[in-house]
Structure 1
């Protein structure tokens, strides 16, 4: 198969823990061909003799091979910034693995990828599904699995929610890696200032959730591939005085088997998400409560493989191959 990864710059990869690298390594092990580009390299043009594509979505790609050397981990046929044109519908699969934030440029990239689908490209995850499942708001569809949650711009709503639940978490809808998350305890200290910071004096919507003390056991990332849960999750455990378990915020990742509740949540959501074109999703669970649904570039393959010996990358490539075989 010819696989095109739409991702962040290769220079930013930390291959000892990067899930996209794990996917690439497994695909290469099976003899598949690897290409890479960034969202900024996507292009569509109609009515030009000078530009490639002839009305089909094209990318400036680099053909890469993995070297097995952790210091110089790939070899590219093209220098950075000097890719070759590749029509997306002429590769076997396009794997959208760009990290958040889900900003305007990400949004535009999903529209270009959806046009590529109209040309005949197979894109995972589905561009439309990426747009339809904002990672924090996607949980609202599944109220049976979430804790007390508020989505609002209104500072009075936030104060009322705090008055009822006494210990709350506030976070921006477009954050990642634990960025912009605040805890306000029973004393309400700085609630007004935090609300103003996050909601921009009513101009921006925020999410507020009751604080879940089970966070001390970890913010669990449950991986769902092809609608089925991976049997191990990655619990991101806060360290020291930190309330956030995110690895980017210093949390410690511990692989562990799914609990009965984890399994229940994953088995309920997995088929629904897969039917919408989300081949790979990451469910965030604290205690017994679903807190987020990650669809842009879920991670955890490397840590689960290293600690539990379970090869989620192989399961993922199996799922891609099976999806292509059905088409």
Structure 2
């Protein structure tokens, strides 16, 4: 009797499993025939090499978790709010696709074509974006936390309010990018090209910016506490009201930079180049200024109390009303 029940249980289980598989296959067939499959179940589907480029495919809200879309052509497709977690998109053509609100967590996007694609509010946490191009793309408020973005091309892209916490952007290209109010805490930004980028109000606490190029970038009001900027290039950068407290600025290039009201307390500025920089009302209390170059710098009303200034160069610097390392105020 027990044996019969066991056989019946297996048959019942097989019967119940069949409709799920059939439903998945039906959705795959529907997509291939009509190119319209919003809300479809395509989990784990093999769509490798599928060509939907000329039909404005609709996959909005579809479940594509773990699907293989490698080498597929989805140019112009609607993938808004689709679930693409762990999907393989290597070599996929997603040019001008709509990916707003889609979930691409841990997705493999290496060699994916994304020119003109929109990714507003897209979830890309821990995704692999190694060396792809997103030049000029809209990624406003996208979540890219922990993503592999090494050598990525993001020139002129929109990353306003984006979450890049802990992302690896080593040697990425972000010239002219919009990163206002972006969250870059703990991100690896070593060697990144940020020339002319907008980082106003960005959170860069604890970020690695060693050797980064930030020439003429706007970091006004940004938070760089405890960040590592050793040997970074901030020539002519706007750093007004920025917070560099406790940061490493050793050997950094701050020539002609605007550091008005910047907080540089306890920062390491050893061997830094600050010629012609504007440090009016800047807070340099307790900072390391050993062998820093302040030639022709504006230090009016700056606070240098307790700063280590051995061998610092201050030729022609304006120290009017500044508080010196000794605590003495300069009267003018």
Structure with greater contact order relative to length (CA < 8 Å, sep ≥ 6) = 1
Hey, which of these two has a bigger chunk of strand by percent?
1
What is the TM-score with the length of structure 2 in the denominator? 0.20
Q: Which has the larger radius of gyration?
A: 2
